[in-house]
A and B are shown apart, each in its own frame.
Chain A
Amino acid sequence: MAVPSLQRAVPGWLRRFVPRRRWRRYPPYLFYLFIASWLLVGFLFLTSAAVVVNTVESFTTWDGFVGDHLHWWILDNYQALVHDSGLRDSIKQTFEYTAITVTASVIGSLGLAVFLNQPHRGVRFFRSVFYLPTAISIVVAGMAFATLFNYPSGLINDVVLHLGGNVTDMLDTDTAFVAVILMSVWQLGMGMVIFMAGLQGISPELLEAACVDGSSKVQTFFRITAPLLSPVILFQVITGVISCFQAFVAPMALRGGNGVQSSTLFYMLYVFGSLAPGGDCGYGAAVLEIGFVFLLVLAFVIFRLSARFVYYESSVEGR
């Protein structure tokens, strides 16, 4: 580009105060132009504003209708949280559900991934079959499991009857909890695919070396494959916990909107119940605030951890 003429025009001692016009590939604000849509709508409006609205709401008492039914009620909502036994139960149930579901799906998806990693014909066929439940909507998954556990024409009752048991309405009892877990584990395709990618990332030389050294297949799996996959397993556990925490639609889909059993009244459903208009929305917001705090703490812990276990691929940082 042309040599800046203003630089030459001013006396030498002034030159360093005259901005030098360098040629640039792009104006410095271009980055912000490209992320503007996400930053303004996605981050500031849909995320940050929502958190602020909820936090402010949690300090009020409000019936949820648009209008002037709002009163400030500082901290009373949070005091009430401590004595809310329904909330405590829902959190306990969510933790139980999360622990069982995450353990079962991580083990199950790793098992299926190992199964599909064998050199046989038909891997792709089985892979599609195992992934199919993940592709369909959770609403339909819930309906499918409802037909299985149904009273009286469900398949499970059918089997129970053949074995000489009594037909019961399983979705009206605590069995609904088991049904929700089975349904969540059934949709483990995503974890399976991630584990398959992880397994393919293990260098064959390593497995071969183990084989040459006389290690059995089981030994190789527990001594070599599993340790090498440990970052993937940790990732699966974290995403599993986050997704189980959101459990909301699954119990609803199983028995329609109004039939949620107390054994499947998870945290998110409890939030939903307490936020219903006409109730105390301020209190509901305080209940929801627990979730925000929990996940923010979790996110912070993950960030700290990820520095240790995540491998950062080098990328073009732009010029």
Chain B
Amino acid sequence: MADVALRDVVKRFDNVEAVRQISLDIPDKEFVVLVGPSGCGKSTTLRMIAGLEEASAGDILIDGEKVNDVPPKDRDIAMVFQNYALYPHMTVFENMSFGLRLRRFPKAQIRERVEQAAKILDITDLLERRPKQLSGGQRQRVAMGRAIVRNPKVFLFDEPLSNLDAKLRVQMRTEIKRVHQKVKTTTVYVTHDQVEAMTLADRVVVMNGGRIEQIGTPQELYHNPKTRFVAGFIGSPAMNFMPARLETNGSGLSLRVSDKLAFPVPAGRTERYRPHVGKDLTFGLRPEHITEPRGEGRDPRCEFTVNLDVVEPMGMETMVFFTVGNTEVCGRVEPTAASGPGQPMRLYANLNHMHLIDPANDQVL
């Protein structure tokens, strides 16, 4: 049993609160990703779990025990750093076995564990090399091997893929997921890349300005963001936001996005949105829900024609940029359906995936 719990944890640096009352429960074997922009407090939170920073207030519990005053080496955790932090004067084998040698494990057991970890990570051939003889991806794997060999209660990853090139990053992401499936240990992973968060996590914790904005599975965060920040942070390219107003339209509602453009609100949402008629709201819709007219049974009133500003062919799909009111909006269309820049194009907005945000408190309605 190795669950991790944070209760009202605060971290202050001089007079600045980097982490403001965070509470989080991570059950055993779960892969949790802390994601957010630079400076949101995710690395600080991770370091407090590791014991490298002291919490200014609140409790940190590992396996049900309060560990606030326990030094890192006694918390039974292992960490993988952004710049690997391998010992440059030791071979890969010595790097991986350092922790075990310090704890005076018998030699045979050390060898067995290191070889096992090396097999999982496919670095058996590199055991006698020094870090400077390894590539970035290999070094990262050695850093992971050093963590696995310790058989800790919790794995902590601090932006481990940030130093790798894009292609290697995708490869290593799959490696990490594969290793987690083999070595089922509670993992806390910090990244600023929401794609990594979505692909790796069992649950994602979105942080902003020292606070937790939302916790949920990747699907939950994608489909049901609770705040404007989460809605705009998750998903690439980011969600489109436009000012809009609700109007009554017979027994239902319609959403006026500009002088010329208004969409019918789906029937199921009428009651939810009725109290907000007439207010200034922010309308959010993901680019993948603005497409060329497709799908049987779509509402023809959701179709509209605009002049495209920019067209970006991506191969699998084409991104189209156009203006609504004063906002630039992005859509994702079939490559064959896209017209050219300056040309008009018929688009369809799938309002079943719409979000309305109250600009006063940035909460999603």
Q: Do A and B bind each other?
A: no
